Amino acid sequence: SAGLTAPSVYSLAAIGTNLFAGTYGGMVFLSTNNGTSWSPAKAGINSGYSVYALASSGTSLFAGSDYDVFHTTNMGTSWTPAGLGLGVYALAATGTAVFAGTDGNGVFLSTNSGGIWSGVNQGLSKQFVYGLAVSGSYAFVGTGGGSVLRRPVSEMVTRSEEHTSEL
């Protein structure tokens, strides 16, 4: 783990053979050799934020932090805030759809890689979301209330697109 200088690793994600680690203190690290050595990949993420969640889809990588979601398409060379403006503790991505789990505001979905966000909380009684996964045609949401909710991705994407078109 040479070069991995953060005191805590909160999340991991892979793009091909590249491994990313989200850590305490706003650092994202990249390993191109199966974790033998690491280098910072965080330009654009505030060093005061912790990176609690990482998710990848294709060549896109998303990082969930204390105050926003960040997005990179160049292996972490530069990051762009996605504009959610909330603490994000769980992420899942499939295609151009990105799900963000927040600490008290439920789940948000972007259908354009983080450009526009919409709440997708129908049926979600606990708004503290700490786990997200997409498997097949379903999204799974793990909450601070000890429950796991399953919803069809197509149902949420349709609702999100309808909401976005109303704006």
What pLDDT score does 130 carry? Answer: 94
Say what the pTM is: 0.90
Kindly state the average pLDDT of the residues 82-89.
Answer: 93
Q: Categorise residue 36: left if φ over 0, alpha if ψ from -120 to 50, beta otherwise.
A: alpha
28 forms beta bridges with 22
pLDDT band of 159, cuts 50, 70, 90: low
Whether the CB-CB separation of 34 and 55 falls below 8 Å is answered with: no
CA distance 114 to 21: 20
- The Cβ-side half-sphere exposure at 88, using a 13 Å CA radius, reads 35
What pLDDT score does 166 carry? Answer: 37
Q: pLDDT (tens digit, 9 = 90+) per residue, 37-78?
A: 999 997 778 777 899 999 999 999 999 999 899 999 999 999
Q: pLDDT (tens digit, 9 = 90+) per residue, 134-149?
A: 999 999 999 998 899 9
Angle at 160 between CA 51 and CA 151, to 5 degrees: 75
- Percent of the chain past pLDDT 90, that is, above it, reads 67
Answer positive or negative: Cα dihedral of 111, 116, 120, 121. positive
Q: How many residues does the chain have?
A: 167
101 forms beta bridges with 90, 107
For the cut 70, the answer to whether the pLDDT of residue 162 exceeds it is no
